[in-house]
Structure 1
Amino acid sequence: MERKSWTEAQQYCREEFTDLATIDDMTENKKVKSTMQEAGAGDAWIGLKEEWQWSLVDRENEAEFRSWEPGQPNGGEGGDSTHPYVLVTERKNWTDAQRYCREKHTDLASARNQAENEQIKGVIPHSNHLNPVLYWIGLFRDAWEWSDGSSSTFRHWGAGEPNNQGVACTEIEPSGQWKDADCGDGSHFICYEDELVLVRENKTWREALQYCREHHVDLVSVTTDHIQRWVSELAKGASTAHVWVGLLHSYGVGWYWVCGQTVCYSNWTPGHEQVESFHQGVGAVESGGGQWVSNLTKTDQLNFICTTKDGCD
């Protein structure tokens, strides 16, 4: 068993598998715990890391831009504005400032490149450099993020955790509880392997279904936000504008997945969920944004995504 820092573990998992483990619920936590017990491992890295993030959630365009003063970060001050940038001279704490911006404008300002940083700087009045007036911006350090970028909010911290004062990563203990630790520490780690396969061949929906069942298990059923994220990422590599998934519509049933589950979680393009009750249809996802569409027919030929796992989970 290898011991690596969190960054080294992340790189290894991405090269050899998919990514460091993401844990969405207690069932998955128990699976990871069982894997550790079988391997006889002690504490091990999982994919949860504390990060600086922008209040304005814009993951498609967000860059890892930072413009710290020497010796920073050591606090939370910056500039307060939105798109287009608006200076607010009321004094508020960061949370109240965020709430104000979201109610009155869009959000606290995000400086995602040097040009935006200069625009924000341009709305701030000149002040005495010995006692400068400071303004909030939307960068905060109150969030934990999974290595694969998923939005799972499940946490299983041990008593008194997390308690690390610096930038921290997450280890899982043999007990199954989590603790934060210095990301540079050497530790065992847990990878996960993606269960989805993008097939870059143009086939009708029925041909795609047959291919997946012959070569893998089935067309993918997108039953959770976690699976949706995987599908969206894979779809970006498609050679067609849309990608087949295992989504069907039948008279008297409505929309359902080939795994046998009716649609509960959904990510429809506006206007595509409602179809005539007698309509026999199939669904696909957009290659760019990952939203679902219903305006295709079973004779259209698209790339498609297969799953290597049985069932709807």
Structure 2
Amino acid sequence: MHRDYYVINEAKSWDQAQSYCRENYTDLATIGSHDDMKRLVAVTEARGLTRQSWIGLRETGVGSWLWSAGEAQIGHGLAEYTNWAGSPDSSHNCGGMRADGKWLSALCETTLPFVCQEGIYSQNACITKKRLSQNETTPARNVHNSHTAHHDPLAAGALSSLNQPAAVNGREQLSSNLLIFTIPFTIFTDVGSGGLTLILEEKSWREAQEYCRLNDADLANVRSQFENQALQQMINENASSLSLVWIGLFRDEWEWSDHSNSSLRYWEKSQPNNDGHCALYSPSQKKWFDRGCTSERSFICYKAREERKWIVRMEMKSNAFLKFSDSVVSKAILNQIQQKFEVIMLKWRVQPDGRIFHKKEEKKKINEACLNNLK
């Protein structure tokens, strides 16, 4: 979802601001991703906003385990996949990983080594989409960019190609809802790491989060068993003696006004400190604070922008080093294609069986089985 932000210079309580935004826009501002945060900062600076203003975050008293990076191409912020060694301590609000891959909760003030991860949120803020007409064509593109990683590329030089069965004279052709195109490209990716960096300097969870974000990353997300195994392997290869390292797992009791599942938080270091149950944005510090909901302040609304969707069918070939079932590989492919398609936002379509790619022979067998059932 693309969110456009609007500064309203009228003094209202949080509840009044919520009603105003819902009547005139979509809702009080939800900041769901790092790109959203960049866009919010840009809009408030352009409007010359200097006063602390309400956003759509409010404390509910119901806690959930979340991921630091917020909304990403790979999912929303709720921690749906978990690998706890035991039930998290109710007094702990931050989580880490042991060398055996199991998770433990801990007090957020505990100082531990931590893992940063690059490339887990979109870098394409403020994208303007272009709609092509049904008969419009556009030249096929070549992609030769490397995926950034902190380690030596495991699959350097692996060549994959996207075939275009319906291409005409090397050009892309767009139907009403299906785009088929050819893009040869090279993938340079550290399979299984996803741009993971282990930082041995011990910091509190919030300090670790700040460190990662200052380096264009965030604390590591673990949204599947495969990603958990990849992170475990990286820790064991670099520092197997560590008892626990911070990852991007945390628990809080705050919810967005529109009930979205985004877990992005940009609190100032001392916040929230129980000053109130509603959140505001400070333009001078570009951080969030908690305040009493009845105080009257300016506020920020958002309007969801309608987005058009196209289905893109791809055929890929690779050498033995690449496994398309590897989520890191699929992310690397998507990131490289995205860099060349600046006017649209791309994401993989997950099949009903939970996979993105299927081998051709698998599809052939499925089709044959369907035909046999019809006989």
- TM-score bin, normalised by smaller chain: 0.3 to 0.5
Q: TM-score under structure 2 normalisation?
A: 0.34
Structure with the greater relative contact order (CA < 8 A, sep ≥ 6): 1 or 2? 2
Point out the structure with the larger strand share: 2
